[in-house]
Structure 1
Amino acid sequence: MKIATFFLIGLLGLLAFCQTSPKKMKADLVLLDGLVWTGEEAPRWAQAVAVKDGEVVGVGSNDQISQFISSTTQIVQLEGQLLLPGFIDSHTHFLDGGFYLAQVQLDGVTTKEEFIQRIETKAKELSPGEWILGGNWDHHDLIPPQLPRKEWIDAVTPHHPVCVFRHDGHMALVNSLALKKAGISRETPTPPGGEIIKDKTGEPTGILKDAAINLVTKIIPEPGIKEKLAAARRALAEARRCGLTSIHDMSGLDAFYTYQRLLEKGELTARLTLYPPLRLIDSPSELEKARSQSDPFLKIGGLKGFADGSLGSATALFFEPYLDRPDFCGLLAEDMLPEGTMLRRLIQAEKGNWQVAIHAIGDRANHLILNMFQEITERYGFRERRWRIEHAQHLKPEDIPRFGKLRIIASVQPYHLYDDGCWAETKIGQERCRTTYAFRSLLDSGAHLAAGSDWTVAPLNPLTGIYAAVTRHTADGRHPGGWIPEEKISVEEAVRAYTWGGAWAEFAEDKKGTIRPGKYADLVVLDRNIFEIPPEEIKEAKVVLVVVAGRIVYSSLKKD
């Protein structure tokens, strides 16, 4: 591949090089002797890149790009390492992720004893009365698999209310003190769009699902601005380490104004596009105010709504029942209730020229949202809306072609299949799983894929997502050839979903997502060529350099 690559560099590099003449322009930064995947049709490959004033000004061979060098140019020798467009994560809970990094972390816990011990350790770090938050637990990881109960943690948290989330964010464990503060008892009815799990005697077990979680979260004290800024800085540091130069954050306006403070201080090291709750469209003045303050580093991209819950919490909405709950098909989310609410808000979004991004996991939830998107198109005509379905996880076969036909973006999170593939068939059976995470079928039907992590539900590192999309391996190792292998995609297709796909999903493909003159100099360098190594090794690749707007924001390159 390297021989063919550098043949293309010599044959096609002049095309990009000629777009910006180096005779009068000298670069601020030049990256030489790399293996540059541009993401463009031509030239697809190059050897070096020149940057000035935050934008790419030259792409070509070492000799061509060396002409941009002056005495003040910063030069980075890549020594054959892979240079890509900066990664774009199209679905995160970014500010929440920053908070999570300082909270109790329960991911990877496999025993009841370890679960309790981590909660107890965090309790000892906090003052009496402070909430214990965070979590990221998965009951499928416990041996044996079981839902935790409030009795597990009550004895070690007598003075601390607790609310710790399952890793999908659709289920939480709270202790007795939190239940008491929220006024939840055996008499409390389950709210629409949620579920309060109770034992055989009618007593709450401490497990709350979806809308029921709001009964507790609404009484948790709001963090102060110092805590929010600290969380944002932690999240940005994690993003730099992962090679992310742009991030789509499914957060509210409070997060927008937190990031705005960092922008004013010059501390944003990634471009942030936010998707506040769709329900805010009911009183849109604050949304419009925030949208008017768009900046190349910070903007409101659209509005996020929910159609259902998640598979792991058994609240994703299906046409047929769950195998382990034969009388239950899942839940409609609060945004869908009462009937007609979602469509009304989508019409308001259409009239206000808002992009929308709707969470849909189960096949029925996806079908319902596709129907509404189609109704909007038929009622108001075709335009480049670039409306999105977040997750698009379980699809009826006949619904897959509708994404391409309606030009709906499938905003997918490949690493979820690494976890779900271990147990999904026990919940919905093999047949329904055949069109689960249907990346190949979606691409073949003409859909646009925008890839992301759903951090903190899954790791923020895009390389783990690329690995999952290409290999479809699962955490239990039971599928060495891939879980539903016919839905694998190529490395290039996966990288494109994490670069150009994300740019397209936020109407920014003219400025990012590929490497060419005139686009933002948002770049990432890896320590190995993921297009050539065995796919199972992709997750071991490391980010060694990150450039955002022409500025090096992260580097682990060896210095001479």
Structure 2
Amino acid sequence: MKQLKIFLIIFLTITLQAQEMRKAYINGKIYTVNEKQPFAQAVVTEGNKIIFVGNNDEAKKLITSNTEVIDLKEKFMMPGFIDNHVHFITGGHYLLGIDLRSAQSTAEFKRILNDYAKKYPGKWITGGYWNHENWEIKDLPTKEMVDEAVYDQPVFVERLDGHMGVANSLALKMAGITKETQNPEGGLIVKDPKTGEPTGVLKDNAMNLIYRIIPEPSEDENYQALLAALNEAKKLGITSVHDITYSDALKAFERAKSEGKLTCRIYTRWPIADYKSLVEKNIKAGTGDELIKMGSLKAFADGSLGSSTAWFFEKYNQDTTTFGLPMDIVTDGSIEKWCSDADKNGLQLSVHAIGDRANSYMLDIFEKIIRTNPQWDRRFRIEHAQHVRFQDISRFAQLGVIASVQPYHCIDDGVWAEKRIGPERIKYTYPFKSFLEAGVKLCFGTDWYVAPLNPML
């Protein structure tokens, strides 16, 4: 089947223009998302508003001497995509940096690292987003493997899910990580069972031991990453994203907006640990303007399936020593207190939960908040909602919790998920149809950089 080219980008990006110019798009095959009139020939816009959808003859009545007319020549046009879950600036850095996702073997993994190091001598090598499940050996990489490729400059490259990474010996030494280093709460330093030496792999909060010594990108580097991300989104017809946002990213968004280069609407979601700063500024869900909105928070209840840190009621089939890894804010009770207080102050909560226990735990918290806090249009979200007990599916609907899911993970995680959790739990993995049948609201996204940004996939 030939790939369908989507020409929407020329359509809904025009709604981002402030100028009140009238434009007429004629002779198209325009998908309207209106069941009563699914297709049309023409669209007429004025400034930021669509003022007509219908046939060519009626559209031509609205064309004046000042109207710009675009002949679509029977090409396909549709509304823009909203991606519910992206790491937008990080995705831009990925486009501009090292790509280990494409490595299909350990040899290729090392070759890509070595080539990049030669191109950028002395530079920290980060990102990469490898997937060991694609290699001929499914074992996790080690510091020795990375050392063979790069030994004289620091390396810490992440797995594609962002919940673990592997460092070379130099990076471990710079971070002071040895066999005596204890696991931080909510994190794991993987160690050789025979020697006790760190293997180089760090999971979840243990990654912070290295992150804290990696130089932060400059403002200009973040801005260039944003421009790369915007260009990628524009090519794929994405006109709005829900972003996992940090303060340095907001500076880049505001700069692009002021320079007229922000071709995508940004709905920001801030780390829940920063919620008090939003409360102090009287920011609530939806605060902002047409291009940049604030007032949503992101928290993590657990890790990922690929890193065996997603939190389950039963132990992993592949590793019977672990149930997964609840985050430190779960184990110390912070997440429940923060969620309740943030909700009282009108901030939307969206919480990453992948394992069935993490999902159930968050539903319990949301239920308490609904019972005790004043009512408002809170729109709780669970990000990923990937492995859910059957009895918890209906609770999403009863509590009005949105399942914010990323279907592409069926492709990348789905290949090996059963190996991790066995044939029974796999029955309630990615339960999109069951969610819909239970009356749960779903929203879709890509989780880019973790998965490709292309919404058609």
TM-score by length of 1: 0.75
Q: Report the Cα offset of residue 47 of structure 1.
A: 2.5
Paired residues for 1:181-220 under 5 Å: 181-199=174-192, 200-220=194-214
CA distance in 2, matches of 1:331, 1:151: 26
Letter of the 2:396 partner, please give it.
F
Q: Report the Cα offset of residue 285 of structure 1.
A: 5.6
Determine helix, strand or coil for the equivalent of 2:428.
coil
Determine helix, strand or coil for the equivalent of 1:462.
coil
Contact 1:395 1:436 in 2 (8 A): yes
Contact 1:309 1:316 in 2 (8 A): yes
CA distance in 1, matches of 2:232, 2:290: 21
CA distance in 1, matches of 2:181, 2:63: 70
CA distance in 2, matches of 1:381, 1:143: 55
CA distance in 1, matches of 2:281, 2:438: 34
Higher relative contact order (CA 8 A, sep 6+): 1
2:344 to 338, 342, 351: 351
**Matching residue of 1:497:** none
1:174-223 per-residue CA deviation (whole Å, 9 max, x = no partner) reads 11111111111000001111110001200001000000001101111111
**Matching residue of 1:484:** none
Contact 1:279 1:335 in 2 (8 A): no
CA distance in 2, matches of 1:49, 1:142: 49
**Matching residue of 1:36:** 30
Q: Report the Cα offset of residue 406 of structure 1.
A: 1.3
Identity %: 44
CA distance in 2, matches of 1:68, 1:236: 32
**Matching residue of 2:50:** 56
**Matching residue of 1:11:** none
**Matching residue of 1:545:** none
Determine helix, strand or coil for the equivalent of 2:70.
strand
Q: Report the Cα offset of residue 283 of structure 1.
A: 4.3
Determine helix, strand or coil for the equivalent of 1:276.
strand
1:476-524 per-residue CA deviation (whole Å, 9 max, x = no partner) reads xxxxxxxxxxxxxxxxxxxxxxxxxxxxxxxxxxxxxxxxxxxxxxxxx
Greater Cα offset, 156-165 or 180-189: 156-165
1:462 maps onto 2:455 in alignment: yes
Letter of the 2:299 partner, please give it.
G
Contact 2:285 2:346 in 1 (8 A): no
Q: Report the Cα offset of residue 27 of structure 1.
A: 6.5
Letter of the 1:311 partner, please give it.
L
Q: Report the Cα offset of residue 71 of structure 1.
A: 2.3
1:376 maps onto 2:369 in alignment: yes
Quote the RMSD (CA, aligned, Å).
1.8
Determine helix, strand or coil for the equivalent of 2:78.
strand
2:394 to 401, 405, 414: 401
1:280 maps onto 2:274 in alignment: yes
Q: Report the Cα offset of residue 142 of structure 1.
A: 0.8
**Matching residue of 2:112:** 118
**Matching residue of 1:367:** 360
Contact 1:91 1:249 in 2 (8 A): yes
CA distance in 2, matches of 1:234, 1:394: 33
1:167 maps onto 2:166 in alignment: no
Determine helix, strand or coil for the equivalent of 1:213.
helix
Q: 1:176 to 1:316 in 2, by over 3 A?
A: same
1:240-298 per-residue CA deviation (whole Å, 9 max, x = no partner) reads 11110001111212211221011111110101111010111244467646989712111
Q: Report the Cα offset of residue 356 of structure 1.
A: 0.9
Greater Cα offset, 275-284 or 344-353: 275-284
Q: Report the Cα offset of residue 226 of structure 1.
A: 1.1
Contact 1:253 1:290 in 2 (8 A): no
CA distance in 1, matches of 2:363, 2:153: 44
Letter of the 2:370 partner, please give it.
T
CA distance in 1, matches of 2:212, 2:276: 20
CA distance in 1, matches of 2:343, 2:414: 36
CA distance in 2, matches of 1:248, 1:97: 13
**Matching residue of 2:319:** 325
Letter of the 1:450 partner, please give it.
C
Letter of the 1:384 partner, please give it.
D
1:93 to 76, 87, 96: 87
Gaps of 5+ in 1: 1-25, 465-560
**Matching residue of 2:424:** 431
1:306 maps onto 2:300 in alignment: yes
CA distance in 1, matches of 2:162, 2:403: 20
CA distance in 2, matches of 1:334, 1:125: 39
Q: 1:406 to 1:457 in 2, by over 3 A?
A: same
Q: Report the Cα offset of residue 42 of structure 1.
A: 3.9
CA distance in 2, matches of 1:258, 1:285: 22
Q: Report the Cα offset of residue 118 of structure 1.
A: 0.6
CA distance in 2, matches of 1:258, 1:289: 19
Gaps of 5+ in 2: 1-19
Letter of the 1:32 partner, please give it.
I
Runs of 4+ in 1 over 6 A off after TM superposition: 289-293
CA distance in 2, matches of 1:402, 1:152: 46
Contact 1:27 1:50 in 2 (8 A): no
**Matching residue of 2:411:** 418
CA distance in 1, matches of 2:98, 2:160: 12
Determine helix, strand or coil for the equivalent of 1:188.
coil
Greater Cα offset, 279-288 or 370-379: 279-288
Q: Report the Cα offset of residue 433 of structure 1.
A: 1.2
Determine helix, strand or coil for the equivalent of 2:270.
coil
Counting matched residue pairs gives 437
Determine helix, strand or coil for the equivalent of 1:164.
strand
Contact 1:195 1:212 in 2 (8 A): yes
Determine helix, strand or coil for the equivalent of 2:336.
helix
Q: 1:287 to 1:414 in 2, by over 3 A?
A: farther
Determine helix, strand or coil for the equivalent of 2:149.
coil
Q: 1:292 to 1:418 in 2, by over 3 A?
A: closer
